[in-house]
Structure 1
Amino acid sequence: MKKFGLLCAGIALVALAAGCSHLQQPTSDQPDDSQKPPAKQAEGEPIKIGFIGPLTGDVANLGQDTLKATQLAIAEVNAEGGISGKPLELIAEDGACNAKASAEAGNKLINLDKIPVILGGLCSGETNAFAPTAEQNKVVVLSPCSSAPNITQAGDYIFRTYPSDTFQGKFAAEYAYNTLGKKQAAVLAVLGDYGQGIKNTFMGRFKELGGTIVLAEDYNQESRDLRTELTKIKAGNADMIYFIAYTEAGIVGLKQAKELGLTIPVLSGDALDDPKVHENSFAEGLMYTVPSAPLTEEWKQKVIAAGGNPTLCTPYAYNNVKIIADIMNRVGTDATAIKDELYKVKDYPGVSGPVTIDENGDLATATYDVKIVKNGKAEVMKTDADQEAGDQKPAGDDVNDDANTDAGEDAE
């Protein structure tokens, strides 16, 4: 199953296809959990799997939460008997949202720890850094959050249950042009697989719709001063900013945009779905896109009780453990057998919604929400029907003007 096909271009609100999950699910003839005898706690020689994510650095908040969700799922698997009676053991490594650190982490897990599966990375640059080593050594990679389009071509053993930015960039462009009514976009994007991938899909679709990209600027991930780029944007005639950033540069950019007096709306991507960004007064009015994930309050509370927060990547990380455990319980721990089964995953009932993996190892479909930061917290933008009921205004210039009047600083 070579990964040379392009992802489906359809985006706006793509319905998740119905069907039977390949992964085992209870049927009406099977007893429900209340009828089953208690599972025996897993014991014996553990089965080791790896984790790579940003436990330090720009995206550490999201990385730590994702690790907690992964550990929660593993604890549940082990409490239910583990893998054929043996416990799963997680070896976690810090990818730091950095290619060098991630490559070193992948090399350790693959060549020293000899694991069959790596859960990760989160940042696209992390996954792309160790994917060649994993592919060469036939180790399965299952990412919960990497979204760069080029991961589609990373190899037969490389999978993700988080949607490609082929979807997100197009959705953002359509939202900006059709819903916000913006025709003149300035684009400010972090260098690297994530930033450039989503930037290119956004710009391509925005221009197809009839919009104009009045300015496109890139910056290094480590940059903590975006005044030069923001000053160029202010001097132009853009009616919105599409700002692609990770947490730390996002905070800096939003703060400096406020200080420079920029009042046009700011739309961003999923990497700013981080409470560390939202808690700043200058983030008021920030809009950003995220995959739709109808999480239950019960599941959120489980993550919190485990020491994490139900942030962007946590549901996908939790799903991934359960998917891998199900497969291992059926076919064993051979990486090639696991890889073959992952291509068959269809409509798995994940906590984020149904999961179907396509022939490229990607999530087959995606739907998106737009969130807005209000009073230090992010909330999903209401539908047109909700807005007519007076619950919330659309996120146009009026929303950002309110933000600039009432708040302090920040702009994604």
Structure 2
Amino acid sequence: MVRDIERRDFVKGVGTAGIVGLAGCTGGGGGGSDNGSDGEETTTGTDSGGSGDGTTTGSDSGGSGGSASRSEPIRYGVLLPTTGDLASVGKPIRDAATLVGKQLQNADMGGLSVEYQEEDTQTSPQAGISAANSLVNAGVPGICGPASSGVNIQVSKQVFIPNGVVGCSPSSTAPSVTDLEDDGFIFRTAPSDALQGQVMAQVANENLGSSTAATMYVNNDYGQLLSESFVSAFEEAGGSVNNQVSFEKEQSSYTSKLQSALGDEPDLLIVIGYPASGIQIFKDFYADFDASNFDVLLTDGMKDPAMQKQVGNPMENVTGTAPAPVGPAADAFAQLYQEEYSREPGVFNAHAYDASAVLVLANAMAGENSGEKVAEMMPEVANPEGTEVTVENLAEGVQMAANGEPVMYQGASSPVDFDDAGDMASVSYDVWKFAPDSESGIEVSETIDFEK
């Protein structure tokens, strides 16, 4: 089922000072399992020489004329969390980002080659800054990542923008990303949480019939501002929220926080956080409270079937929202991902593939590994007009872009049309539930579409 809803002035009631950055987060399909390497830097595919650790290079067949006249490889970076609080869901997103490089390494591109380098943010701003500097020092002009907005905003301000390097996050959802003074270097394929808050309020009202709610949110920008975003939309629709309770990541018990949130017996409990913390939250919730008295609504950060399995409860009273991969090439991407990793892609996986694909196309059209030129070409290769390029003809599209031919990338997550702020012009959200008996562990009941 697909629903269209009109976009309202969603930051009303939150206030300008409150819009400072949600650490938009990520969920993964297939139990968060990782069929790749767990190291901070990994190498995959065929290494044609000249690259250091963490770098993979496609074979260069030489040739002459057109795209083959470019002697240097097309380079992009992958800066995502494979350790830390988001490790279980960061790895599948990393796999989707590197899938572009793997795919192109196995394709005939008329002498063009592609090289990618990975770094781990460790779900930490400081570690992310260090890892980003490693990529910049290696001469990478465009980077897929970071994942969370808490990391993305700091990395953008301290590394990407000052060094003139393009950042394209697949999952950083902070409204404040839109307003960064980024000199045109910061993009994202993920939607803003200003939209997800509105979707959550609609689901709370229309799907769950809730008139009162409480929120529990991880104590960072993502949690605080997505909580405020939901509260603003929910109260505007006539609901009431008595308690907003923050919590720290990966604590040994959350019983006291749950007591604070549920003390007024709301109809609905909103939980905003990450799987590593969610496991303990829901173990305490089902052990210490009468779960039948409450509906629960989760956000994208906890769309991880591995969490449900570790909680050891079917979590039948839990519903979630998350950005939906409903782009023109969604099915083709899902098939490619399944063939490579023997599991279904999860939330933000399609967004990571799209971010990497656009970075490669922009680099090809730029003609060199220049962050400034790649930034200029990002909208050129993604937005109308031009020859349609998708997952299925990406290698051909890279050659066309390198030859200066107009191309229009049509993505797996969305059509990938950038607006003036580097955000997506149209996005969709899934309403989902845990489904432990299904192959993916997640069941989507409907999709809600936004178009600016």
Query: In structure 1, how many angstroms separate the alpha carbons of the residues matched to 2:154 and 2:114?
Result: 25
What CA distance in whole angstroms lies between the structure 1 residues aligned with 2:262 and 2:228?
Answer: 22
Query: Match for 2:167: what amino acid?
Result: V
SS in structure 2 opposite 1:354? coil
Q: Note closer, same or farther for the CA distance 1:223–1:100 as it changes in structure 2 (3 Å cut).
A: farther
Q: Secondary structure at the match of 1:282?
A: coil
Corresponding residue of 1:305: 339
Deviation at 1:178, TM superposition (A): 2.8
Alignment match of 1:208 (pick from 228, 236, 254): 236
Q: How much has 1:296 moved relative to structure 2?
A: 5.2
Does the 8 Å contact 2:74/2:364 carry over to 1? Answer: no
Map of 1:366 onto structure 2: 427
CA distance in 1, matches of 2:166, 2:314: 38
1:144-155 → structure 2 map (5 Å cutoff): 144-154=170-180, 155=182
8 Å CA contact retained: 2:245, 2:260: no
- TM superposition shift of 1:101: 1.0
Structure 1 Cα separation of the partners of residues 344 and 285 of structure 2: 29
CA contact (8 A) 1:9 1:167 kept: no
1:199 aligns with 2:227: yes
Residues 291 and 231 of structure 1, relative CA distance in 2, 3 Å threshold:
same
Among 333, 336, 341, the alignment partner of 2:372 is 336
Answer with 347-356 or 166-175: which moved more: 347-356
Q: 1:118 aligns with which of 119, 138, 143?
A: 143
Are residue 346 (structure 1) and residue 383 (structure 2) matched? yes
- 340, 345, 351: which one pairs with 1:316? 351
For 1:148 and 1:296, locate their aligned partners in 2 and report how far apart those are by CA, in whole Å.
Answer: 24
How far off its partner does 1:283 sit? 4.8
Residue 198 of structure 1 and its aligned partner are, at CA, apart by 1.3
1:231 maps to what in 2? 259
**SS state at 2:197 partner:** helix
Q: Report the secondary structure of 2:210's partner residue.
A: coil
Contact 2:208 2:295 in 1 (8 A): no
CA distance in 2, matches of 1:120, 1:189: 23
How does 1:67-86 map onto structure 2 within 5 Å? 67-81=94-108, 85-86=111-112
Shift of 1:275: 2.2
Whether the 8 Å CA contact 2:150–2:220 is kept in 1: the answer is: yes
Post-superposition shift, 1:45? 4.7
Q: Give the counterpart of 1:173 among 166, 186, 201.
A: 201
Look up the equivalent residue of 2:187 and give its one-letter code.
F
Match of 2:443 in 1: 379
- C-alpha distance in 1, partners of 2:322/2:252? 24
* TM-score relative to the length of structure 1: 0.78
- Give the corresponding residue for 2:67: none
Which residue of structure 1 aligns with residue 76 of structure 2? Answer: 49
Determine whether 1:357 maps to 2:383: no
Residue in structure 2 matching 1:290, options 314, 322, 340? 322
Aligned to 2:124: 98
2:321 maps to a residue whose letter is T
- 1:107 lines up with 2:139 in the alignment: no
Q: Per the alignment, do residues 301 and 270 of structure 1 end up closer, same or farther by CA in structure 2, a change over 3 Å counting?
A: same
Q: Deviations over 1:185-216 (max 9, x none)?
A: 00000122221221111111111111111110
Could you give the per-residue CA deviations for residues 294-339 of structure 1, whole angstroms, max 9, x where no partner exists? 3755533422332364111211111122212222222223211221
Residues 354 and 412 in structure 2, CA contact (< 8 A), matched pair in contact too: yes
The gaps in structure 1 that reach 5 residues or longer are: 1-7, 12-39, 384-412
The amino acid across from 1:265 in the alignment is D
Q: What RMSD over aligned residues (CA atoms) do the two structures have, in Å?
A: 2.4
Pair 1:54–1:281, CA change in 2 (3 A): same
- Are residue 326 (structure 1) and residue 326 (structure 2) matched? no
Question: Who is 1:269 aligned against?
Answer: 299
Equivalent of residue 162 in structure 1, options 182, 185, 190: 190
Aligned-residue offset at 1:381:
1.6
Contact 1:144 1:317 in 2 (8 A): yes
Q: Aligned pair in 2 of structure 1 residues 159, 283: CA closer, same or farther (>3 Å)?
A: farther
Name which of 278, 281, 303 aligns with 2:312: 281
2:75, 2:360 within 8 Å by CA — same for their partners in 1?
Answer: no
- How many correspondences in the alignment? 347
Shift of 1:122: 1.0
In structure 1, what residue type is equivalent to 2:141? Answer: P
Q: How far apart in 2 are the matches of 1:260 and 1:109?
A: 46
**Could you tell me the TM-score, scaled by structure 2's length?**
0.72
Instruction: Tell me if the contact between 1:356 and 1:364 (Cα under 8 Å) persists in the aligned partners.
Output: yes
Deviations 1:119-177 (A, max 9, x none): 10111122112101210111000111111111112323111001110110111012102
